[in-house]
Amino acid sequence: MDTKIQETNPPPPSADALRAAFRHVYDPEFGVSVEDLGLIYGVSVGCDGVAVIEVTLTSMYCPAGEVILASVQSAAEAVPGVMRAEVSLVWTPAWTPDRISQEARHHLGWSDPSPSE
């Protein structure tokens, strides 16, 4: 009887695992993670281990844009199971402060937004 040991690749990491890594990437102007600022618009990981991440910035004139994008790529590629990260800068939909998490609002000393009427 011929038995072969099949190598199986571990499943790719989840989008949640990458989002957790992005909580350690900080916008240098705000001192808040890019995840909590709501700058991460999309995350997916294919079976081949390629992570595809869509990122926006608080403005088109953000002086830290290149640093943020490079840091997101580095953080993604440090997650076990990610072979490569493709980071895209997107502008649609436009970022607004409504995307900031409650935790980040507290850190920034911002009050909760007024409920819509």
Query: How many angstroms separate the Cα of 81 from the Cα of each of 19, 37, 44?
Result: 14, 26, 13
H-run or E-run covering 85: strand 84-89
Give pTM, 2 decimals.
Answer: 0.85
Contacts of 38 (CB under 8 A, 6+ apart): 95, 98, 99, 100, 101
3-class SS of residue 8: coil
Domain residue limits, the chain? 15-94
pLDDT in tens, the chain (117 residues): 555 555 567 788 999 999 999 999 999 999 999 999 999 999 999 999 999 999 999 999 999 999 999 999 999 999 999 999 999 999 999 999 999 999 999 999 987 654 454
Q: Which SS3 state, helix, strand or coil, does residue 50 take? A: strand
Distance CA 111, CA 114 (A): 9
Give the class (CATH, top level) of 15-94: alpha beta
CA torsion angle 65 81 79 20 (round to 10): 90
